[in-house]
Amino acid sequence: MNETKPTNATNATIRPLNEEDAEAFQSMRLRAAENDPQGIASTVHEIAQLTRAQNEARIRVTGEQIVFAAFDGDALVGIVGLLREVRQKLAHKALIWGVFVDPARRGGGIAKKLMESAVNHARSIGVLQVQLVVSAQNPRAQALYRSCGFVRYGVEPRGLCVNGEYIDDELMVLFLDDPAVPD
């Protein structure tokens, strides 16, 4: 059996994706939907139907969005998206989405390094609170987010329906203007 060792976060390169990464991004999202269907709102079929242009738009860095990626050499091994609200009354908030690390590369701190990159970026653009949604059936992800300072503020009953089974979502927030949150 040819097992891949977890990539150590110190060896991973973290950078924003760009339009040239569209194919790798779509492939990573497909793996996420296949490996963790309760952790991603899109289905494999929905992701597979996206055009290159749609994927390019999803990862294009703008004032409101960015997708950070972890690379082990040339291999994309993890992603996290950050989407800032565009409406003036909501622009103090951003949403973390699409957190996924290739299962063969987990355990080396990549997800935490990706989360730190997204949170630091949010802080740098003046965001005051970062929110995310995590499956109530994913204690490993919940623990990751708590280790990054996120706290639960609610539960959305039946947040997802996967193959006829309803799954609750946990709603989490990190207040960046809280003096207890380290810079």
Mean pLDDT per 10-residue segment, the chain (183 residues): 55 94 96 90 94 96 96 95 95 96 93 97 96 94 96 95 94 88 62
Residue 38, both tokens: 């309760």
The DSSP H or E segment spanning 130 is strand 129-135
Q: Compute the Cα dihedral for 174, 58, 121, 94 and give only its sign.
A: negative
Domains with residue ranges and CATH for the chain = 13-175 (3.40.630.30)
> Can you say how many angstroms the Cα of residue 10 is from the centroid of all Cα atoms in its chain?
19
Q: Which residue has tokens 């999803």?
A: 58
Q: Are 183 and 58 in contact (CB under 8 A)?
A: no
Q: Any idea which residue has 């539960």 for tokens? A: 155
What is the predicted pLDDT for the residue at 117? 97
CA nearest neighbour of 66 among 143, 12, 1, 124: 124
Contact by Cβ (8 Å): 82, 65: yes
d(CA 118, CA 112): 10
Record the tokens describing residue 70, joined without a space. Answer: 């972890």
Give the pLDDT score at 6: 57
Give the CA distances from residue 140 to residues 2, 39, 135, 176, in Å, rounded to whole numbers and listed in that order: 25, 11, 10, 23
Q: State the pairing for strand pair 75-84/93-101.
A: antiparallel
pLDDT for 79 = 97
What's the confidence (pLDDT) of residue 36? 87
Q: What pLDDT, on the 0 to 100 scale, is given for residue 38?
A: 85
What pLDDT shows up at residue 183? Answer: 62
CA–CA separation, 172 and 110 (whole Å): 20
